[in-house]
Amino acid sequence: MIPLEVIYEDHDMIVINKPAGIAVHGGISVSGKTLVDMLLEKFPEIRAVGDDPATRPGIVHRLDKDTSGVMVVARTQESFELLKNLFKTRQVEKIYLAIVCGTPKQKIGAITFPIGRLVKNPLKRGVEIPSRIVRPDGHPSVIRGSREAHTEYRVLKSGQTYSLLELKPKTGRMHQLRVHLKALGSPIACDRVYGGKHICCPFPNGRQLLHAQSLAFTFPGMGRLLFEADPSEDFTLAQELMT
């Protein structure tokens, strides 16, 4: 098991670099040790913190199981409420790195398709695209409960097979970055849920190459805070292999 990497801690919060391959908390389809298990071992005081401390103690926001990077965890109930409100009111600036298949036509842009649940598979998300626009796979998705979603992107490096993108999500919908990049025609490399039938992936059985690089927000009494986390070895190696 990869040890828990703590980037920062004080009375109010714990900031970690979440490893890929570990679910944030337990659930029906989750097996093995979770991030919450690791946090409770090192910070047992968070056991009573949160809206659902029995399942998600201290957890203010989440990353997908195979996404790595910066996460902030509340250490007290007061800080939980403050952090939760910052995320809810979109006062947290989030930057991700992603290695994607191909290269977007525009080097800088924004993806604003609303996101909802797929009717045929509620565990997956899809985008609502105007009828005049054709999906990359040629088949419109039937979704329900669509909500506003906004992702800004910038191509940092491009090649024939892969590109490195910087992503700035302005909203926090489930699977937002993965779904938006799929709709853009450049799904995240190794994403076996949204990558399509012919998934591009530099490694056999590699994980989706998405990394939460930084979080920035203003916290009462502490001013502006910025936390960053370096990508894991597989992400860095994939960058070196980009062609």
Question: Is residue 230 flagged as an active site residue?
Answer: no
> How many whole angstroms separate alpha carbon 148 and alpha carbon 139?
21
CB 104 within 8 A of CB 155: yes
Among 195, 173, 192, 167, CA closest to 113: 173
Asked whether the CA dihedral 230, 232, 236, 242 is positive or negative, the reply is: negative
Q: Which of 37, 52, 64, 234 is catalytic?
A: 64
Coil vs helix vs strand at 163: strand
Residue 241 phi/psi, 5-degree rounding, is: -90, -5
Question: From start to end of the chain, where are the E strands?
Answer: 5-9, 13-18, 68-74, 93-101, 108-111, 115-118, 125-127, 143-147, 151-158, 162-169, 210-219, 223-228
Tokens coding 152: 């800004």
Q: What separation, in Å, do the N-terminal and C-terminal C-alpha atoms of the chain show?
A: 32
State the catalytic residues.
64
